[in-house]
Amino acid sequence: MMPGLHHIELWIADLGAVRTEWRWLLDRLGFTLDSEWSSGESWAAGGTYLTLTTSPNLSDAAHDRRRAGLNHLAFHGGEPAHVDALMAEAPAYGWSPLYAERYPHAGGYQHYAGWLENAAGFKVEVVADAASTRTPAATAD
């Protein structure tokens, strides 16, 4: 048995409205468009794939990351400079930065990451590689 995630499937009420946002992000993070059909698409990276699809079985059209269920997806972002560049470009592609006043250490000083939210309310975290993370100098209280 191989450990890890096989795939994640996100049901999106109106994929057409957010397809460009997701495509930009996944492409920037090194995912490859693996398959596409009228109501969805799958993106692959490192043996895992992410499916974005619209289902006629949705019980509610709104996604609320604060309710039970998916809060966010966290992606490997590579070097801190790559995370910085992605965060700077994201608003032009429909992603709104979250916790900007605490970027890049909103998760603590040992955690270099950016958080984004798209028009449909999906939240993602882009995490810099731990080995390359810059640690700020200690400060006196």
**Mean pLDDT by 10-residue block, N- to C-terminus, for the chain (141 residues)?**
88 94 97 96 96 92 89 96 98 97 95 96 95 49 32
* CA 107-139-103 angle, 5° bins: 30
pLDDT at res. 133 = 60
Q: Please, are residues 21 and 94 in contact by the beta-carbon 8 Å criterion?
A: yes
* Claim: this prediction has a pTM higher than 0.85: yes
pLDDT at res. 130 = 84
Q: Please, are residues 106 and 113 in contact by the beta-carbon 8 Å criterion?
A: yes
103-119 burial, b at 16+ Cβ within 10 Å, e below that, comes to bbbbbeeeebbbbbbbe
Closest CA to 104 of 88, 91, 92: 88
Q: Please, are residues 120 and 18 in contact by the beta-carbon 8 Å criterion?
A: yes
- Homologous superfamily of 7-55+69-132 in CATH? 2,3-Dihydroxybiphenyl 1,2-Dioxygenase, domain 1 (3.10.180.10)
Helix axes 15-28, 80-89, angle to 10 degrees: 150
What residue ranges do the domains of the chain occupy? 7-55+69-132
E-assigned strands of 25-104?
A: 32-37, 40-45, 48-53, 72-78, 96-98
**75 - beta bridge partners?**
126
Which two tokens mark 56? 């006629």
